[in-house]
Amino acid sequence: MVVAMASGRVLELWRWPVKSMAGERMRATRLDARGAGGDRTHAVLHQHMGEWKPLTAREAPRLLAWRASYPFTPDAALRPDEPPYAQVAGPDGERTWHWDDPRLRTALADDVGRPVRLHRDVSGIQDLERSVLITVEATRAALAEELGTEIDLRRFRPNLHLELAAPPWAEHGWEGATLRCGGGVVLRLLHPCVRCAIPTRDPSTQAKWPALLRHLAARHDTCFGINARVLQAGRVAIGEPVTVEPPGDVPTDSAPARR
């Protein structure tokens, strides 16, 4: 019998249909070898050193004011192998565009102040390909206490946010461990997530808070959360039990999911 390193439940689920835009909170989602279904399958591109590359909130914080969603395939209704085109709401919250609407490119270019292109890739456009980002509530609360102010989880753009019976920051030592979700989903924990400047931007106002990154660098090796890959695909829902098991061979019934 494998003794769990920690156990708990799924507290929040998130997906971010367009890279660096605001995303949507879910009650359930499907995970497969690509990561969370529909997560970061779209990106705004800009020209950088002669190439068209994803534009992020590092270069254009205004992107955070835009919100992307899949309103017609909510929660786990979205199939990871066939995500629909995202719908995008502008900063005023009143105007919306379908991803393939040519007027969206014009509106984005005007708002961020540079020429852009729109790109879609159903295999995912994560910085770490085929990955899921996991954060832990005890760590978020500990960081808030260290800094003396509330911390909005959206700054860190996770997919799974867990409540675990483990000390804050413990997940940073779980490289190679296995995370099992109650519905049969199995993930391999990879390594702590080294943060860039994006979490320093307020998700609602885009105001910069450089002290956040300086604190993470001084106290926590600039890390918050842990990256993971899906070994066994399936459905995950809010409130489901989860366990973290020590590093080791994954049983054959949890073989890597096939794309």
Residue 119 predicted with pLDDT over 60 = yes
**How far is residue 23's CA from residue 68's CA, in Å, rounded to a whole number?**
5
CA dist 112 → 120, 135, 237 (Å) = 19, 30, 36
pLDDT for the residue numbered 183: 83
Tell me the torsion sign for CA atoms 120, 188, 193, 171: positive
**How far is residue 200's CA from residue 177's CA, in Å, rounded to a whole number?**
29
Q: Closest Cα to residue 29, out of 176, 240, 189, 180?
A: 240
Q: Which of 4-8, 73-77, 152-156 has the least mean pLDDT?
A: 4-8
Mean pLDDT (whole number) for 148-153: 98
Residue 214 predicted with pLDDT over 60 = yes
Q: How many CA atoms lie less than 13 Å away from 210 in the CB half-sphere?
A: 0
**Residue, of 78 and 255, whose pLDDT is higher:** 78
- How many CB atoms are closer than 10 A to CB 155? 19
pLDDT for the residue numbered 4: 74
- How many CB atoms are closer than 10 A to CB 152? 13
Q: Bridge-partner residues for 97, per DSSP?
A: 88
Q: Closest Cα to residue 134, out of 185, 72, 200?
A: 185
Mean pLDDT (whole number) for 116-141: 96
pLDDT band at 255 (very low <50, low <70, confident <90, very high): very low
Cβ partners under 8 Å of residue 19, min gap 6: 40, 42, 43, 44, 54, 56, 125
**Residue, of 259 and 135, whose pLDDT is higher:** 135
Mean pLDDT (whole number) for 162-191: 96
Contact 116, 103 (CB under 8 A): no
Q: What tens digit of pLDDT does each residue of 13-24 get? A: 999 999 999 999
Q: Closest Cα to residue 206, out of 140, 127, 112, 137?
A: 112
C-alpha torsion angle, residues 15, 153, 95, 116 (rounded to 10): -70
pLDDT band at 236 (very low <50, low <70, confident <90, very high): very high
Element of type H or E holding 218: helix 210-220
Q: Closest Cα to residue 212, out of 144, 133, 158?
A: 144
Measured between alpha carbons, how far apart are the two ends of the chain, in Å?
A: 30
Which CATH architecture describes the domain 6-16+128-254?
A: Beta Barrel (2.40)
Residue ranges per domain, the chain?
A: 6-16+128-254, 24-28+38-120
